[in-house]
Amino acid sequence: MRYAETGYNLEIDLSRGNIERVEIDPRLTELHLGGQGTAAKILWDRVPPEVEPFSPDNLLIFSSGLLHSTPVPGANRTAVNSINPQTNLFAHSLFGGFFGPELKHAGYDKIVIRGKAPSLVYLWINNDKVEIRDAAHLQGKGALETAALIKEELKEPKAQVAAIGLAGENRVYMASIEHANSSASRGVGSVMGDKRLKAIAVRGTKDINIARPAELFELCLRLRKEIYENPKCGDPMAHEDDEAFHTDNFAWGNARERRKGFWNKEIEEKWKEISESVRLRWTGCYNCPKDCHQAISYPGRQTYFQKCFNKLTYAMAAYKELDFNYDILGVTQEYGLDGFSTPQVLAFAIELYEAGILTDKDLPGFPSDPGERFFYLVEKIVRREGIGDALANGVYWAARQIGKGAEEYDHNTTKKFEQVTIKLGKLNPPYFLMIATGEKMSITQIEGSFPQDPLPTRKEREKFVRDWDALPDDKIKQIFLEWEKRHELSIEASCIICDWNEIMHYIDDAIGLCGFLSSFRGQFGGRIPYHTHNIPHLISLATGMDLDKDGLWEIARRNRNLLRALNVRRGLRRKDERPPEDHWKVRDHEFEQKLLDAYYEFKGWTNDGIPTKETLDKFGLDYVSEDLVQRGILTGNEGTSSKETSAEKGEELNSREC
């Protein structure tokens, strides 16, 4: 009997109209857990680097997490993975809501989609009955509207629907997949649109087997109470009214100016009043006691859901008030547009217009009001009309298609992808490593387990770490205790911190756990419900696997190296690993290169950022190393340095004085 997982994937070939229920090897769970971990294995095996993102041979994979549909609170993040057309690298996307658990209750751990349908279709999964249905009547419909129409058509109000809007249909690179109160962003909507798949509807009523149900249920009741009572759990931005930090340090879009001093008590009260006037209710995801999303009813717009930074992204890019943000979200969410990348693309276009690179000939009838300009550009982009055809490919590619100096205004991309646009002072070494070396193209999926700034006094730091259960060991506690304002974290400490941050996210992505309950909350201190000390026990109770902390870290590092190798095989190298120039005012190229040198050595990678044969083989990825050797990417003679990292030796870590 399989525990926690169903043991079956749903394989869909849209070109042939073929549907198969395929049993999966239980050994894969032991090696990769599930979720994004096993999705990376499928992509490695079945999508070689010669396959283009918009090829029928590219796969689009929807994965439930290993702990979905178990009693574990907050286990609801569905992973969507493919090859991203914007980067030609691994596409990493997560969304909450109810889709993943519903898929598992229908009897499947994953949906693996290949091919292209001859015309627009949607997928209907109702337990054992699976159909590819015509979606011609849904063409051009909004993502949320599509979900409502499909539920009505199926006469199944409890179906969980993930759908694309017009942006996805037209293969806009920043197209999202919308589901209930959540979005799968980072470009996966464009792949779904390329496959002419408008939506997936799922209804599941099957039971999930648990290895030790009574023990797991008792533990989860305690965790649920802890999550509910802990204000540090969940997404604080959703409930935050004091946005001074974000308005001062985030220049959404491009760094044309700073909003220092914008925030004051009057603005805070005004924005709070606006938020309360449009909010219908707070909502949450499957089996989570935290309500981190808002149902929004803005005049003239269909009811939609606001989550995370979407509350501010468009307002910050257009330098408009909060009501503008709520207004335009009602449009962009129906079109299915990524709320991080899209505002930057819009601001980029306006900046080019102000610089004379784009003219009235490129933008006929371009409004003078900044807010109206955003609406104008959105319509051009989702239809790929005129200049919108170039802008639909994101800032990096649009800059190079437009030319005439537009490349100079590509302020905020890394690896061809728009990044969170924080503008701070001096370079933060661990965060440099996270942004530079991360495979996920977004710092919000790498950061979170270590504070960004030290506390002023030793006494405050001691109080902070007292209940910091999320720490994997005392070394990181010591790093924080010794970190003072006048000191910069050492290179060695920066490597350890970055690695820990990454490991936690790779664990979350495999088991389907919301990062706001584990990998993204440690920086606020206090008792965080999930960490490397109790997650192995939860997995063991759910699955019957004999797993401890060391075993969990080994799996996460295996997944990390596999994903790295997948991108390396598609061309990723050291030259690509540099954060945007204006992330920090003060930069030190020589120091940054030393950071990369040290981190690559720490990870067991070559000086070009490629996992060595020794490292890959150590994690049971010998089939990966053999492939890289055959392709000439590795010689087969590379090995990790004999010099142990300080994390392994347990040496005392001292800060480097500024």
Q: Evaluate whether 474 touches 500 at the Cβ level (below 8 Å).
A: no
Distance (Å, rounded) from C-alpha 420 to C-alpha 404? 26
Q: What is the pLDDT of residue 437?
A: 94
Query: Does residue 653 carry a pLDDT above 50?
Result: no
The per-residue b/e assignment along 267-298, b for 16 or more CB within 10 angstroms, e otherwise, is beeebeebbeebeeeebbbbbbbbbbbbebbb
Would the pLDDT of 50 be above 90?
A: yes
What CA–CA distance (Å, rounded) separates 543 from 378?
46
State the virtual CA torsion across 403, 407, 410, 415 in degrees, nearest 10: 100
Mean pLDDT, rounded, of the chain: 90
Distances in Å between the alpha carbon of 617 and those of 438, 562, 577, 593, 636? 22, 11, 25, 27, 11
What was the pLDDT predicted at 468?
Answer: 81
Q: What is the pLDDT of residue 11?
A: 98
Instruction: Provide the pLDDT for residue 432.
Output: 92
Q: Which part of the chain has CATH 1.10.599.10?
A: 424-657
Token readout for 418 is 């728009």
Q: Is the pLDDT of residue 255 over 80?
A: no
Structure tokens that stand for 590 in this block: 């020589």
For the chain, percent of residues with pLDDT exceeding 90: 71
Q: Say yes or no to pLDDT of 271 above 90.
A: no
The 293-296 sheet, strands edge to edge: 279-283, 293-296, 304-306
Q: Rounded to a whole number, what is the distance in angstroms from the first to the last CA of the chain?
A: 58
Displacement of CA 446 from its chain's centroid (Å): 9
Residue 508 has pLDDT above 80, yes or no: yes
Q: How far is CA 538 from the centre of its chain?
A: 23
User: 94-103, 116-125, 390-399, 446-455 — which is least confidently predicted?
Assistant: 446-455
3-state secondary structure of 33: coil
**Given this model, what pLDDT does residue 657 score?**
34
* pLDDT the model gives residue 254: 66
- Token pair of 435, please? 């942004």
Distances (CA, A) of 455 to 461, 517, 548, 607: 6, 23, 32, 35
pLDDT band at 199 (very low <50, low <70, confident <90, very high): very high
pLDDT at 497: 93
CA gap 536, 179 in Å, rounded: 30
Name residue 132's beta-bridge partners: 123
Q: Does domain 424-657 have CATH number 3.40.50.300?
A: no
Quickly state the pLDDT bin for 237 (edges 50, 70, 90): low
Single-letter amino acid code for the residue at 52: E
Cα atoms in the 13 Å half-sphere on the side-chain side of 305: 22
Q: How far is residue 444's CA from residue 447's CA, in Å, rounded to a whole number?
A: 6
Compute φ and ψ for 195, nearest 5 degrees: -85, 5
The arithmetic mean of pLDDT across residues 65-80, rounded, is 97
Using DSSP's 3-state secondary structure scheme, residue 585 falls into: strand
pLDDT for 376-388, tens place per residue? Answer: 999 999 999 999 9
Per DSSP (E only), the strands in 360-467 are 413-414, 417-418, 424-426
pLDDT tens digits for range 6-17? 999 999 999 999
Number of H helices, E strands in the chain: 26, 21
> What would the two tokens of residue 170 be?
């037209």
Q: What residue spans in the chain does CATH classification 1.10.569.10 cover?
A: 244-418
The structural architecture, per CATH, of the domain 244-418 is Orthogonal Bundle (1.10)
Over 60: is that where the pLDDT of 642 sits?
A: no
Token reading at 287:
């089996």
- pLDDT above 80 (res 500): yes
C-alpha 553/C-alpha 533 separation (Å) is 11
CATH classification for the domain delimited by 8-203, as one of 3.30.70.940, 3.40.190.10, 3.60.9.10, 3.40.50.720: 3.60.9.10
130 phi/psi in degrees, rounded to 5: -125, 130
497 Cβ contact partners less than 8 Å away, ≥ 6 residues apart: 430, 449, 450, 476, 479, 489
Enumerate the CATH 3.60.9.10 domain ranges in the chain, comma separated. 8-203
Q: Using pLDDT thresholds of 50, 70 and 90, give the confidence band for residue 85.
A: very high
Q: Which residues of 479-499 are buried (b: 16+ CB within 10 A; e: fewer)?
A: bbbbbeeeebbbbbbbbbbbb
Q: Which tops the pLDDT comparison, 554 or 291? A: 554
Pick from 540, 444, 472, 495: which is nearest to 235 by CA?
Answer: 444
